[in-house]
């Protein structure tokens, strides 16, 4: 826990596990040192106006990167959507080491900025960070350790504790929707197609929406949005990864429908076995289940995304020499079938059509995952 400095000559690494504050030349410096060698101090300057009236231990940090909301001025208040309360702020690391942005005089931001800066120096969460070489001055920038493209979500623990079962993991998809990808400081992110990027409300607020009930504990969803989609570039693989979400939900639909069917059958006085067989065939049909999912979630989907996804799917079907479908569920199902079974016959030049599908598909899936009700 703490930051580390490397001696370029000996290769020796010094852990800086202690942090003090010192004022020099009218500026605040944080002195960093190893508890066994308090005399060898390294310094990081804090250039923003100091508002240190918040207790650092009352706040928690979560780290992200973004290829869209990564400008110095992309500083936003973060609200929990259902509770409609401000739970913290999200901002790029650059806003902590510069005073050229529009929030340099905003006291509310400055309080969070100070907390975040200090917590990053302490690195209690043991994030994977850079180890800079020691330099002659012994003075460093925060970005020497954390890189210059980090996004920091700082949450007020007291506020989020007032929300039932608040857990940041349940908001990863919502953050992803805004283009924030959970990352370690040493991770690099690529500009990948298909990532949705919501815009902050009025340019100042991020509304975090919790994942739909019942899906919180799904391990695949966490893996998908925290790691898989962040790095995978090939359109075919991305489609597979995304389609797994459909598989996951329609499996739940199947279980629920199947249970209802058996339940009805077992309580029915007039047991019609052949009808049951037909019903079972219907609920087990993937096509039927996709239709059911799409139609039940239609009201929560972005209208443009729906139209675009259908157009993109039909466009791909043309490449396979198939007819267009008149319904989103049918065109998605048909496109999925062609991609899975006939990808080998898709011309190289048309692979980008899958990329276009992914872009819309991803946005639709996020709508489903945030709003799905069993």
Counting contacts by CB under 8 A, is residue 77 touching other proteins?
Answer: no
Size of interface with other proteins, in residues (CB under 8 A): 30
Exposure string over 273-301, b if 16+ CB within 10 A, otherwise e: eeeeeebeeebeeeebbbbbbbeebeeeb
CA atoms within 13 A on the CB side of 321: 5
Q: Which residue's CB is nearer to other proteins, number 43 or number 51?
A: 43
- Is residue 22 a contact residue for other proteins (CB under 8 A)? no
Q: Residues 2, 92, 147, 185: which binds other proteins (CB under 8 A)? A: 92
Closer by beta carbon to other proteins, 100 or else 348: 100
User: Quick check: 102 binds other proteins (CB under 8 A)?
Assistant: yes
Q: Residue 72 interacts with other proteins (CB under 8 A)? A: yes
3 state SS of 28: strand
Q: How far is the CB of 290 from other proteins (least distance, A)?
A: 40
Closest by Cα among 94, 178, 133, 140 to 9 = 133
Three-class SS of residue 27?
Answer: strand
Helix (H) or strand (E) holding 30: strand 27-34
Q: In the bound complex, what is the minimum distance in angstroms from residue 139's beta carbon to other proteins?
A: 8
* CB half-sphere exposure, 291, CA atoms < 13 A: 12
Nearer to other proteins, 93 or 334 (CB): 93
What is the Cα–Cα distance from 283 to 276, expressed in whole angstroms? 10
Task: Indicate whether 100 belongs to the interface with other proteins (CB under 8 A).
Answer: yes
The tokens of 99 are what?
A: 């005073």
* Residue 58 vs 105, nearer CB to other proteins: 105
SS3 state of residue 72:
coil
Q: Quick check: 8 binds other proteins (CB under 8 A)?
A: yes
Q: Which stretch binds other proteins (CB under 8 A): 19-27, 155-163, 172-180, 208-216?
A: 19-27
Out of 29, 30, 42, 176, point to the residue binding other proteins (CB under 8 A).
42
Interface stretch with other proteins, choices 25-33, 118-126, 152-160, 167-175 (CB under 8 A): 25-33
List phi, psi (to 5°) of 358. Answer: -55, -40
List residues binding other proteins (CB under 8 A): 5, 7-10, 12, 25-27, 40, 42, 70-73, 92, 94, 98, 100-102, 105, 133-138, 148-149
């Amino acid at each position: 826990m703490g930051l580390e400095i490397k001696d370029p000559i000996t290769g020796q690494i010094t852990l800086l596990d202690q942090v003090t504050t010192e004022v020099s030349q009218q500026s605040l410096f944080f002195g960093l040192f190893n508890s066994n060698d308090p005399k060898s101090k390294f310094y990081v300057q804090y250039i923003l106006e100091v508002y240190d009236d918040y207790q650092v231990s009352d706040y928690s940090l979560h780290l992200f990167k973004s290829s869209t909301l990564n400008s110095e001025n992309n500083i936003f208040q973060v609200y929990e959507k259902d509770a409609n309360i401000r739970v913290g702020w999200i901002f790029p690391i650059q806003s902590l080491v510069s005073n050229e942005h529009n929030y340099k005089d905003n006291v509310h931001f400055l309080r969070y900025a100070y907390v975040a800066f200090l917590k990053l120096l302490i690195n209690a969460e043991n994030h994977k960070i850079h180890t800079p070489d020691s330099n002659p001055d012994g003075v460093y920038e925060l970005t020497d350790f954390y890189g210059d493209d980090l996004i920091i979500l700082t949450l007020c623990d007291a506020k989020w504790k007032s929300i039932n079962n608040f857990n940041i993991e349940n908001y990863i998809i919502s953050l992803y929707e805004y283009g924030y990808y959970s990352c370690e400081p040493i991770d690099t992110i690529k500009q990948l197609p298909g990532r949705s990027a919501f815009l902050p409300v009025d340019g100042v607020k991020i509304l975090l929406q919790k994942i739909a009930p019942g899906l919180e504990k799904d391990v695949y969803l966490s893996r998908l949005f925290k790691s898989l989609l962040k790095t995978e570039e090939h359109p075919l693989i991305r489609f597979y990864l995304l389609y797994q979400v459909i598989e996951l939900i329609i499996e739940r639909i199947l279980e629920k429908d199947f249970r209802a069917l058996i339940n009805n059958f077992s309580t029915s006085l007039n047991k019609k076995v052949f009808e049951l067989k037909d019903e079972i065939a219907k609920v087990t049909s993937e096509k039927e289940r996709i239709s059911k999912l799409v139609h039940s979630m239609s009201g929560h989907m972005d209208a443009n995304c729906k139209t675009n996804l259908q157009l993109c799917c039909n466009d791909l079907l043309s490449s396979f020499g198939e007819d267009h479908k008149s319904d989103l569920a049918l065109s998605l199902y048909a496109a999925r079938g062609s991609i899975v079974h006939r990808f080998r016959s898709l011309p190289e030049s048309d692979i980008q059509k899958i990329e276009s599908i992914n872009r819309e598909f991803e946005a639709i899936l996020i709508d489903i995952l945030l709003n799905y009700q069993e």
